[in-house]
């Protein structure tokens, strides 16, 4: 009789649990945060920006059939959603998990042992982004381009293990024993091959230098590295200026938007390359700035065009992309940039007829304020050049100083954009 009562009580408790779980949201999107920022870690069952009790509850609802399966609900990565996933999520939530699985910037599932102590970014712009999170003591190796182009950020004593995400020195990396090696997006096709040569190392592809992906990838890496607070501070800073531009340009009509020509790698080869809106970094930075890109509709991210095509389009503004990073930036004066502007405009017969040149609306933009967290500085610069009347109180150079001081404790003299719009 006591046995029957016990079974009845257990059945009642299970029914109560079932009814409770059936009341949970039927889809993850209902319980997810409104933000488009995604934490790409297995265990983020409801696909919001955290791993917490809501993910435990949502995973239980999937098990009982009331919730829809989501990409990140399989916390153990075994292609099955069961109570083992619930346990794993609880361990992650409590900070007791010994390993987690992230989905990197190109969809690869990568296991990462916890806690992460040593990391190697193989691209200099990724290194800058990580330094903005206060990870200087975790970085044990850098790429040669970081020493050449960003020496102002320090780490001069660290060994060079790659060159701009390429030519990875496997022997050196294995000697340094990093927990994670970070590759930029353009090395995605080589990621699996690099991983084969680096056993016991998590090789992760992340777009920490790309405007299109930086918010979500920062959120994911911040979680993995235990730098959530630092990520939130950086994201808040970036989004504040992004919203500022959006608010001040939202009422512009098409007839108020000048046409612009954004040239890729100006001052380099004797070719004319145009950056399209499809470019996930520079092209996206120039979007939403109150202008119309003459390259809209062209296939590709950077496309070689005929000079006659640009002249025929007759853009009102020209932005010259300074990709190489040696002729602008730290230590460069306005005089240096004036000379560089003359060089960029030389050897362009017929270009003097273009509105951008006739009206002195040709601007130089260093890639350092286009990639990584500094993308918002370039974003504001583009907008102020084309609509100075909307940004009379905003100085991109001062915002740049603010970033360097706030996130790197640096004061660096130099010129990253020229001329500054009045």
With both helix axes pointing from N to C terminus, report the angle between 2-22 and 53-63 in degrees, rounded to the nearest 10.
110
For residues 174-190, give the mean pLDDT: 94
For residue 265, name the pLDDT band (cuts at 50, 70, 90): confident
Mean pLDDT of the chain, nearest integer = 88
Mark 319-334 as b/e (b = at least 16 C-beta within 10 Å).
bbbbbebebbbbebee
Mean pLDDT on 358-366: 95
Distance, in Å, from the CA atom of 257 to the CA atom of 289, rounded to the nearest integer, reads 9
C-alpha to C-alpha distance for 206 and 186, rounded to whole angstroms: 10
DSSP state of 159: P
Task: Flag whether pLDDT at 27 surpasses 60.
Answer: no
Q: Do the beta carbons of residue 271 and residue 310 sit within 8 Å? A: no
Q: Residue 270: count other Cβ atoms within 10 Å of its Cβ.
A: 6
Q: What is the CA radius of gyration of the chain?
A: 25
**Cross-strand pairs, 203:** 181
For 119-152, the pLDDT digits (tens) are: 999 999 999 999 999 999 999 999 999 999 899 9
- How many whole angstroms separate alpha carbon 249 and alpha carbon 269? 35
| Maximum pairwise Cα distance, the chain | 101
For residue 207, the 8-state DSSP code is -
* Mean pLDDT confidence for 283-304: 93
What was the pLDDT predicted at 160? 95
Q: Is the pLDDT of residue 386 over 90?
A: yes
Class at the top of the CATH hierarchy for domain 119-226: alpha beta
Q: Tens of pLDDT along 296-331?
A: 999 989 999 999 999 999 999 999 998 766 789 999
Angle between helices 53-63 and 83-94 (to 10 degrees): 180
Length, in residues, of the chain: 422
Nearest to 161 by CA among 189, 151, 146, 149: 146
Query: Do 119-226 and 240-418 fold alike per CATH?
Result: yes
Contacts of 110-114 with CB under 8 Å at 24 or more apart are 110/202, 110/203, 110/204, 111/77, 111/202, 112/179, 112/180, 112/202, 112/204, 112/224, 113/179, 113/202
Rounded CA-CA distance 107/36 in Å is 17
Domain ranges of the chain: 2-97, 119-226, 240-418
Pairing of strands 99-103, 109-113: antiparallel
Picking from 263, 401, 418, the residue whose alpha carbon sits closest to that of residue 337 is 418
Average pLDDT over residues 362-376: 94
Output the pLDDT for position 122: 95
CATH fold of 240-418 reads Rossmann fold (3.40.50)
Q: What is the pLDDT of residue 269?
A: 61
Q: Tens of pLDDT along 198-253?
A: 999 999 999 998 888 899 999 999 999 999 999 999 999 999 999 999 999 999 99
Q: What pTM, to 2 d.p., does this model score?
A: 0.87
Own/partner long-range contacts of 346-351 (Cβ < 8 Å, ≥24 apart): 347/270, 348/307, 349/307, 350/307, 350/308, 350/311, 351/307, 351/310, 351/311
């Amino acid at each position: 009789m006591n046995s029957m009562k016990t079974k009845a009580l257990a059945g009642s408790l299970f029914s109560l649990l079932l009814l409770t779980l059936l009341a949970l949201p039927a889809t993850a999107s209902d319980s997810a945060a409104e933000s488009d920022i995604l934490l790409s870690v297995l265990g983020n069952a409801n696909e919001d920006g955290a791993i917490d009790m809501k993910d435990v509850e949502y995973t239980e609802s999937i098990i009982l059939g009331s919730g829809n399966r989501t990409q990140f609900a399989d916390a153990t990565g075994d292609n099955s959603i069961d109570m083992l996933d619930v346990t794993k999520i609880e361990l992650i939530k409590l900070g007791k998990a010994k390993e987690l699985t992230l989905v990197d910037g190109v969809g690869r599932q990568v296991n990462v042992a916890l806690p992460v102590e040593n990391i190697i970014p193989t691209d200099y712009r990724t290194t800058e982004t990580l330094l903005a999170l206060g990870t200087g003591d975790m970085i044990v190796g850098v790429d040669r381009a970081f020493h050449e182009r960003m020496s102002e950020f320090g780490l001069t004593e660290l060994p060079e293990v790659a060159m701009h995400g390429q030519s990875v020195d496997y022997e050196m990396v294995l000697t340094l024993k990093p927990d994670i090696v970070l590759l930029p997006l353009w090395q995605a096709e080589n990621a699996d091959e690099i991983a084969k040569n680096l056993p016991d190392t998590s090789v992760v592809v992340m777009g920490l230098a790309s405007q299109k992906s930086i918010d979500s990838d920062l959120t994911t890496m911040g979680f993995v590295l235990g730098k959530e607070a630092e990520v939130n501070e950086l994201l808040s800073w970036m989004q504040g200026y992004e919203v500022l531009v959006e608010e001040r340009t939202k009422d512009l009509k098409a007839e108020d938007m000048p046409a612009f020509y954004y040239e890729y790698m100006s001052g380099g080869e004797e070719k004319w390359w145009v950056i399209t809106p499809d470019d996930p970094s520079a092209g996206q930075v120039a979007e939403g700035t109150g202008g119309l890109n003459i390259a809209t509709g062209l296939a590709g991210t950077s496309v070689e065009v005929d000079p006659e095509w640009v002249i025929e389009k007759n853009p009102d503004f020209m932005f010259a992309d300074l990709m190489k990073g040696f002729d602008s930036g730290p230590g460069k004066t306005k005089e240096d940039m004036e000379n560089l502007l003359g060089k960029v405009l030389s050897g362009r017969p017929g270009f003097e007829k273009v509105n951008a040149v006739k009206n002195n609306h040709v601007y130089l933009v260093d890639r350092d304020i286009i990639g990584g967290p500094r993308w918002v500085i370039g974003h504001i610069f583009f907008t102020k050049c084309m609509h100075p009347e909307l940004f009379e109180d905003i100085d991109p150079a001062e915002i740049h100083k603010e970033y360097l001081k706030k996130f790197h404790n640096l004061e660096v003299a130099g010129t990253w954009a020229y001329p500054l719009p009045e």
